[in-house]
Amino acid sequence: MEKSEISSVKKQFDADVKKLAGDSLSIEAISLLRNSYTGKDSQLAKLFKELGTLDSKERGPAGKELNVLKQHIEESCQLLEEQYIQHKAMVDDEKQDIDLTAPFATTKESLERLQSQGASNPVSEEVEKMLSIFRTMGFHIFEARELDTEYFIFDSLNFPPNHPARENWDAFKTAEGLVPTPHTSNMQVRVMRYFKKPPVRAVIYGRCFRNEAVDVVHGHTFHQIEGLYVDKGVSVADMIGTIKAYLEAFFEQEIVWRIQPSFFPFVEPGIEFMVRCIFCKGVGCGSCKHSGWLEVAGAGMIHPNVLREAGIDPDEYTGFAWGLGLDRTILQKNGIKDIRSLFASDIRFLRHDV
């Protein structure tokens, strides 16, 4: 493999990126570009295959260069996506003819209406407490991105293209091909890359959206707290201990919890944390859909492919991740029986009248 072959792929890629900038930029075009440079039939894939035919002296440096090029392509595509989203938001703002600088009405009626607003939503009240528990454990806090690309939501998390597991997330899609994120795991690879190298201790809070059959414990919009801990020698025991310590601190009372095996493509092994329903104490009632238990978090040891995608060597480091459903734990802690009350905008609920 000639060095010039690698630099000519880079040159061609950079030229294609330049061509895309401006009006021809779209999510589909970026996705096509990414596929044509990193997909199975790409020149890059061919060069990676050729690595095996090189002698051992040449293989190391050539492999390094190819990885640098792969990262360059990935980062440039990500940057293009961010540019596109910003550009689109600006254009949409310009199209609106609402005067955002208009002053508040100050009539007597409007002031009365303002004063009669309710209390803050339990989610806003509890989120601060939740984040501060993780802060005292030494985690850095980040906010999740709500509208994202399939790459961060699925591909970067070890979901093969068109794999049926994607359907478990019931994701929506916008006309531009973006996805209102169905889980905060879309931040995993991004945040690990942000730290550059372990230790990574991060907690990410955000809203999630799913095309869900809504019921007492399922909202179409809900919140998750994602957690990541990567370092040398991190174990399953660390994972269980951390989540258990959090749940005990959050509930401020003894809770009965259990774990059971589960499958998520981005962890191995995967588990689910269940909390015994505080309303029926495990007997079964309407609030726990008669199972006696509520699933409050998915978790597991981060899959080596995900660590690799984030530029972390899985032979050197291990880590765990979790995705905790905030709303369900808030229901249980505050004795609220139906998740829909959190988002119904019923002023009587916010005033604690119902």
Q: Which residues bind ligand FA5 (CB under 6 A)?
A: 183, 185, 210, 212, 218-219, 222, 224, 264, 267, 270, 295-300, 321-323, 325, 327-328, 339
Catalytic residue among 145, 169, 296, 322: 169
The residue among 206 and 323 lying less far from ligand FA5, judged by its C-beta, is 323
How near is the Cβ of 324 to ligand FA5 at its closest, in Å?
6
What amino acid is encoded at 321 in this protein? A
Using CB atoms, what's the residue nearest to ligand FA5? 325
- Positive or negative CA dihedral for 196, 132, 207, 271? positive
- Positive or negative CA dihedral for 156, 86, 89, 206? positive
- Positive or negative CA dihedral for 25, 28, 30, 36? negative
To which residue do tokens 């329903």 refer? 277
How near is the Cβ of 330 to ligand FA5 at its closest, in Å?
10
267 included as an active-site residue? yes
Residue pair 239/231 in contact (Cβ under 8 Å)? The answer is: no
The residue among 88 and 220 lying less far from ligand FA5, judged by its C-beta, is 220
96 included as an active-site residue? no
Catalytic residue among 145, 193, 210, 303: 210
Catalytic residue among 224, 299, 303, 328: 224
The residues, ordered by sequence, that sit 6+ positions from 284 with a Cβ below 8 Å of its Cβ are: 277, 290, 291, 292
Catalytic residue among 321, 322, 328, 332: 321
Quote the CA–CA distance of 25 and 11 in Å, as a whole number: 19
276 included as an active-site residue? no
Nearest to 146, CA basis, from 79, 206, 89:
206
How near is the Cβ of 274 to ligand FA5 at its closest, in Å?
9
The residue among 48 and 257 lying less far from ligand FA5, judged by its C-beta, is 257
The residue among 180 and 300 lying less far from ligand FA5, judged by its C-beta, is 300
15 included as an active-site residue? no
How near is the Cβ of 34 to ligand FA5 at its closest, in Å?
23
The residue among 37 and 209 lying less far from ligand FA5, judged by its C-beta, is 209
How near is the Cβ of 154 to ligand FA5 at its closest, in Å?
11
Q: How far is CA 314 from CA 156, 195, 319, 338, in A?
A: 15, 16, 9, 42
Nearest to 328, CA basis, from 262, 239, 253, 250:
250
Catalytic residue among 34, 166, 183, 303: 183
The residues, ordered by sequence, that sit 6+ positions from 136 with a Cβ below 8 Å of its Cβ are: none
How near is the Cβ of 228 to ligand FA5 at its closest, in Å?
8
Angle of CA points 275, 281, 286, to nearest 5°? 85
The residue among 62 and 300 lying less far from ligand FA5, judged by its C-beta, is 300
Axis crossing angle, helix 43-50 with helix 56-95, rounded to the nearest 10: 160
306 included as an active-site residue? no
Question: Which positions are catalytic?
Answer: 169, 183, 210, 224, 267, 321
